[in-house]
Chain A
Amino acid sequence: MAAMAKRLIDANGRTVTVVKNGTTPQNSEQPWRGLADYPAVSVTGLAAFVPGSSVATWRVTLRDNIKFGANYALFPASDDAGNQLEFFDEILDNGVRWKIVNAEIIGPTTVRLLYLFEVAR
């Protein structure tokens, strides 16, 4: 099943970078002026973006009076380079910065097959 998922994502996905933000400020006297180690950790691989209806109940959220459909990205756990991507913060997708708002690990018991990221711009 893991091999099939990876094969489908490799065939249909696009290259993204999953990013974990750092915490060290660029200037410790002015921590509001950004972080020095952004991103702290990043993992690049192929991810398949799918509409919510493919993986879960279709959901639309209203933010600032604008309706946003949920977007999901599937990322093979075999490409996570040993990182726990459920604790990462953002997905960089060809110039688009997606915020990870929810992350699930798909797989039986403790086996990791896929990461399912719910993302929002």
Chain B
Amino acid sequence: MTATIAQARDDMLGVLKTAWEASAISQALPMLYPDVAGDPPTEGAWGRATILHTGSAQASLANHAGVRRFRRTGVVVVQLFTTPGGGQVLSDDLAAVVKNAYEGITTTNGVVFLNVTPRDIGQSGGFYQVNVQADFEYDEVR
């Protein structure tokens, strides 16, 4: 199972979209994706996903045709914003939706998620923020 960057991105965001829309808690809330035109909501709860590639390394010797395996690593960060004053009820529920989406998962194209971690960021402006981040790795053959 190998993936190109585009396939891996589709896998990572697809996993999130499926879980976000399957949960009654989150399905009506907006999720913002990287580099898609639009402004964040100014009220209510919402999320924003970001994929950050952080490293690449050759992971195999070349075969007879010179084809090698390269391992890509990085982190997917899902920021969750809720209206402050809710006693972290909704933020905990949303963090659980995202955490469960990634924890222990390997996608069909071989993207593996590791170290899935909710991080309490706290209140900033008109929102209470929790991030859920997951390390990822996948192999590309080329």
Distance in angstroms between the alpha carbons of A89 and B36 in the assembled complex: 13
Chain B positions within 8 Å of A35 at CB level: 36-38
Most buried by A among B9, B13, B14, B36: B36
Distance in angstroms between the alpha carbons of A32 and B30 in the assembled complex: 12
Distance in angstroms between the alpha carbons of A22 and B10 in the assembled complex: 22
Q: A30 contacts B10, CB within 8 Å? A: yes
**A22 shortest CB reach to chain B, Å:** 8
**B58 shortest CB reach to chain A, Å:** 29
Chain A positions within 8 Å of B36 at CB level: 25, 31-32, 34-35
Most buried by A among B34, B37, B49: B37
Name the interface residues of B1-22: CB closer than 8 Å to any CB of A: 9-10, 13-14, 17
Q: A21 contacts B37, CB within 8 Å? A: yes
A-side interface size class: 10 to 19
Q: B38 contacts A23, CB within 8 Å? A: yes
Distance in angstroms between the alpha carbons of A35 and B9 in the assembled complex: 17
Q: Does A49 contact B (CB under 8 A)?
A: no
Chain B positions within 8 Å of A23 at CB level: 38
Name the interface residues of B25-49: CB closer than 8 Å to any CB of A: 33-39, 49
Q: Does A98 contact B (CB under 8 A)?
A: no
On B, residues with C-beta under 8 Å from A are 9-10, 13-14, 17, 33-39, 49
Extra contacts besides A23-B38, A34-B37 (5): CB < 8 Å = A30-B10, A30-B13, A31-B36, A35-B37, A38-B37
Q: Could you pull out 21 A-B pairs where Cβ atoms are within 8 angstroms?
A: A21-B37, A21-B38, A22-B37, A29-B14, A30-B10, A30-B13, A30-B14, A31-B17, A32-B13, A32-B33, A32-B34, A32-B49, A34-B36, A34-B37, A35-B36, A35-B37, A35-B38, A38-B37, A89-B38, A89-B39, A90-B37
7 closest cross-chain pairs (CB), A and B: A32-B33, A21-B37, A32-B13, A21-B38, A35-B37, A38-B37, A31-B33
